[in-house]
Structure 1
Amino acid sequence: MANTSRGGLGVLSAPPAGTPVPENEIDPLYKRLRRQAFLGIFFGYAGFYLIRNNVSIVSAVLKEYDVLDALGLGIVANAVLFSYGLSKFFMAMLSDRANARYFMPLGLALSAIVNLLIAFVPVLSASVGLFAAMMFLNGWFQGMGWPPSGRVLVHWFSTNERGWMTSIWNCAHNVGGAGVGILAAWALTQFGSSEADWAPAFWAPAIVALFVALFAFLTIRDRPEAVGLPTIEEYRNDPAKVEQSADEEGMPWKETLFKHVLTNRVIVLLALTNVFVYTLRYGVLNWIPVYLTEEIHAADITDGIIGFAIYELAGIVGTLLCGWMSDKVFKGWRSGAGLVFLAGVGVAIGFYWLLPATAPLWLFYVLIAIIGGLIYGPVMLIGLQAIDLSPVNVAGTAAGFTGLFGYLLGASLASTGVGLLVKFYGWNVTFACLMGIVVLALIFMWIVGRDERKMMDAREAKLLAEQDNR
């Protein structure tokens, strides 16, 4: 395996291999440290969601008391989305050469500091431009959460168990998303000086995030070799789908980036697939309240908000099921699970579209739950496939590259694109387009699946050859 300690990042650089641990100590130490590292990235990543975009939580207050108007709220929200999409890729390039134990807590702490500044320095929220600039900075530091998590997952969990573990880890964003709502509501009630005081929704979660950052620093370990343990592939006798060849170990970082990410057929295809998956994810989610209240004539806006919550909660179940299926049913062939889930999304969206407006509201809720549960599987899988189908030294960058396409193109199509379709052509054309996007996603996932299967066959042949040589 390539030496992943290079990087030239000073104190942030990935550590070199440590002194080998005695044979009799490997198993208990391995089990303890990887369980510990997983807890670190789970709660660490949940901590990022405590302070990602708290503007949305207090948007009504900001609008009512003229801190931001509707346009200003949109600009500030998009600043976070845009910067996060960029950072998820560019910071991943650093993360692949950095010590995850330092990189993730540092990003979380910096994001927390930005939120504290917004809360306690009034001038920073005095204009749309300054507020958006601060949230852009916040989004950039937020991009330091996913890449080191992916680095820990790929180094501490091998291919045939990584689907299940990644699906559990992916639920951290649901934990953080729920936690920020509860924490912000409590802080506003306990510390808000008036109904116009929105600052506690920023500083209280930020303080908690700082403690989470400390926990992550204490628990995360960069990779097994750094503490004298064998690689995860050796420990579990489970070769990676893609390994860096010996002649590539000294390859300059830029050449490695171009070869294994920017010009890698399967990674580029995954990135394009992610555009369609994110379009479906947000194309349904963002418009649930509008569709239910305007087209289905739900009683009031709260019925639409309930649908929004159902969609997100169902995503937890779907993510876990998809990760389990990719490991146990499809034996590590992630595309197989992705194809099943995407096909289910298409069927569910079809029923959601064609269900008569006079049908009971609970039927719409059931379909919303099915769509949410199914779409979050491929959302998780594409990041997992990116780290599965690239060498470990660029795994985070590959995942960040797919995320860049998902956030900058997919999310934009889902908000602006769907909005334009609804406004000028109506819901029937909009849903027909979403069904077309499902077909495109299936085609691209199928193409990726063929390449993935070839890699898996090569991996199995190598494993059999090694067993025959023993």
Structure 2
Amino acid sequence: MAIADFSERTLIVSSQGLGWLSAPGPATPLPQEKIAPTYRTWRFNVFMGIFIGYAGFYLIRNNIPLVSAVLEKHDLLGAAGIGIVANAVLFSYGLSKFFMAMLSDRANARYFLPLGLALSAVMNLLIAFIPAISASVAIFATVMFINGWFQGMGWPPSGRVVVHWFSTSERGTLMSIWNTAHNVGAAVGGALAAWGLQAFATSEADWTPAFWLPAIVALVIAAVAYLLIRDNPQSMGLPPVEEYRNDPDKVEGNDNEVKESWFATIKNHVLTNPVVVMLALANVFVYALRYGVLNWIPIYLTNELHKTNVTGGIIGFMLYEGAAIVGTLLCGWVSDKVFKGWRSGAGMLFLVGTGVTIFVYWQLPATAPLWMFYVLISLIGALIYGPIMLIGLQAIDLSPKYVAGTAAGFTGLFGYLLGATLASTGVGLLIDYAGWDVTFATLIGVVVVAFVLMIFVGKYERDVMRKADAARTSATQ
């Protein structure tokens, strides 16, 4: 079936059942001479829309850690209460990233992303201006759980926009750039919170500006995202991006699959799809590595090695996140240009680098200068974020376009619910009861497991790429 025919039927079927939130159908085709300039303009616009929009979610995702010292110092919430409230949003986000993805696959990204951001901002405003919410751990955690649910409306529509507006051979680079939005958003969110506390707090115990100021900025960003994002090219009278760039998807669906129910879609393309399941399992281990190192940097440097004070430990934390931007961009470029779209190859390369660097970090003598630890921390951050980005990209690359968000959401569900838990609770238990040597050895083992899973994914991906190449060759003959 022709790309244009299938894409058009996909849009028509997938737009049914969500009312005003439904994905738009195809518009009247534009004249040939307008296609290229319109594509250039709107590819830039939609990318900026999802980049700025997704960064906006990180302004207000979980600002509890930023004010935890104030909450504890003034006995507003105990340490246990702070932990419960902070974990509520992460747990909810992991669930929502999957379930909201199922809606997003059939929804208009132009509405879906800004709506989620605006609703999340409203939750943060309620937390700031209704004292009764923060007076109870149960109520506070419940509202943060709701906030986390709305947060899950950010990644799926962004992934939907990417697969509709950018073709396979360019997605690695584009996704790596887009993926840095969360680093940008987290940095700006921290700066806004700090400025808000300094400029608008009415007392030392007033933590609310760290919530309401970023929330107001997020509402503005939601409006900007609405103006910039368009759901798909066909809704603007443009041909599908695969046709425009002569670059077919790795995996195409068929009419019968497009008409499947949500349950059938999940069963056929997620739960019984070996490659998606393996990607989800791999995500557990790469997330365990991400947080297994990140969460314990301050404690390792200060309490275990006595290399620096609390501020120095936080600097290590910041270096890890900052280096992630460079590493993510590099990994995306390598997957496109060096491995020619074979994401697994780039993922395995970066995982090997992660394992080697963690080993050196572990074995570096406590007498070594602090800057050497900082360099290794930066390298680990730069290397591990590449595979994290790639797994989400592989999920949308190796699934039919109309289930791309659901597949990526499934991998995210595993990453947050299991991987983050292993990194926090599991690593904490290892440190307390087995010591740092066993902990680092376990992290190396986690790298090995992730690498083995990526080998199996890579074999499947190679087969899919060969079939896509063969189909492209036969179509041109």
Query: What secondary structure does 2:133 align onto?
Result: helix
Which of the numbers 303, 308, 314 marks the counterpart of 1:299?
Answer: 308
Give, in angstroms, the shift of residue 380 of structure 1. Answer: 0.5
Query: Normalised by the size of structure 2, how large is the TM-score?
Result: 0.97
Whole-Å separation in 1 of the counterparts to 2:163 and 2:258: 18
- Equivalences, count: 468
Whether the aligned pair in 1 keeps the contact of 2:161 and 2:231 (CA below 8 Å) is: yes
Distance (Å, rounded) in 2 between the aligned partners of 1:222 and 1:207? 25
Q: Is the 8 A contact 1:158 1:232 kept in 2?
A: yes
Equivalence map 1:132-147=2 (5 Å): 132-147=141-156
The CA distance in 1 between the partners of 2:432 and 2:56, in whole Å, is 37
Q: Please state if 1:432 is matched with 2:441.
A: yes
CA contact (8 A) 2:307 2:366 kept: no
- For 1:367-422, what per-residue CA distance to the aligned partner results, in whole angstroms no more than 9, with x for missing partners? 10110000000010100000100011010110000000000000000000000001
Contact 2:74 / 2:205 at 8 angstroms: preserved in 1?
yes
**Structure 1 residue 17 displacement after superposition:** 0.8
Name the residue aligned to 2:127: 118
Q: CA RMSD in A?
A: 0.8
Report the secondary structure of 2:66's partner residue. Answer: coil
Cα deviation digits, residues 59-91 of structure 1 (max 9, x gap) = 100111111110001000110110000000000
Structure 1 residue runs without a partner (length 5+) = none
CA–CA distance in structure 1, aligned partners of residues 257 and 399 of structure 2: 13
- TM-superposition CA deviations, 1:335-392 (whole Å, max 9, x none): 0000000000000000011111111111111110110000000010100000100011
1:446 and 2:455 aligned: yes
Q: 2:235 aligns with which of 210, 216, 226?
A: 226
Structure 1 residues 246 and 215: alpha-carbon distance in aligned structure 2, compared to 1, 3 A threshold: same
* Alpha-carbon distance in 2 for matches of 1:298, 1:76: 31
Q: How does 1:178-327 map to 2 (within 5 A)?
A: 178-327=187-336
Q: 2:384 corresponds to which residue?
A: 375
Q: Give the drift of 1:6.
A: 2.6
Deviations along 1:258-300, one digit per CA (max 9) or x if unpaired, are 1111211100000000000000000000000011112221131
Which secondary structure does the structure 2 equivalent of 1:298 belong to?
Answer: coil
Instruction: Map 1:30-41 onto structure 2 (within 5 A).
Output: 30-41=39-50
1:398 aligns with 2:407: yes
Q: Which amino acid aligns with 1:112?
A: A
Q: Helix, strand or coil for the counterpart of 2:318?
A: helix
1:22-63 residue CA offsets vs partner (Å, 9 max, x unmatched):
111000001111110000000000000000001111110011
Distance (Å, rounded) in 2 between the aligned partners of 1:346 and 1:187? 40
TM-score by length of structure 1 reads: 0.99
Which residue of the partner structure matches residue 160 of structure 1? 169
User: Residue deviations 1:236-264, cap 9 Å, x none?
Assistant: 00000000023323233321221111211
Paired with 2:261 and 2:186, the residues of 1 have a C-alpha distance of: 39
In structure 2, what is the equivalent of residue 420 of structure 1? 429
Code of the residue aligned with 1:338 in structure 2: it is G
Distance in 2 (CA, whole Å) between partners of 1:202 and 1:115 is 6
In 2, Cα distance between the equivalents of 1:189 and 1:348?
39
Matching residue of 1:65: 74
The letter of the residue matching 2:192 is L
Q: Which amino acid aligns with 1:398?
A: A
User: Bigger CA drift: 253-262 or 387-396?
Assistant: 253-262
Residues of 2 paired with 1:184 and 1:230: CA distance? Answer: 44
By how many angstroms is 1:182 displaced?
Answer: 1.1
C-alpha separation in 1, matches of 2:308 and 2:276: 45
1:167-186 per-residue CA deviation (whole Å, 9 max, x = no partner) reads 00011111111101111111
Conserved 8 A contact 2:288-2:419: yes
Q: Distance in 1 between matches of 2:267 and 2:249?
A: 20
Q: How many percent identity over aligned positions?
A: 68
Distance across 2 between alignment mates of 1:231 and 1:409:
37
Give the structure 2 partner of residue 410 of structure 1: 419
Does the Cα contact within 8 Å between 1:92 and 1:144 map onto a contact in 2?
A: yes
Q: What residue ranges of structure 2 are gaps of 5+ in the alignment?
A: 1-5
Q: Secondary structure of the residue that 2:206 maps to in structure 1? A: coil
How far apart are 1:206 and its partner, in Å? 0.4
2-side partners of 1:420 and 1:426: how far apart? 9
Q: CA deviation at 1:191?
A: 1.0
Paired AA for residue 437 in structure 1:
V
2:97–2:156 CA contact under 8 A, matched in 1 = yes
Distance 2:46 2:187 in 1: 23
Q: Could you tell me whether the CA contact under 8 Å between 2:301 and 2:308 is conserved in 1?
A: no
Q: CA–CA distance in 2 between the matches of 1:95 and 1:155? A: 13
The alignment status of 1:27 with 2:36, answered yes or no, reads yes
**Kept after mapping to 2: 8 A contact 1:295/1:357:** no
Give the residue type in structure 2 aligned to 1:429.
V
Per-residue CA deviation, residues 141-193 of structure 1 (Å, 9 max, x unaligned), is 00000000000011100000000000000111111111011111111121111
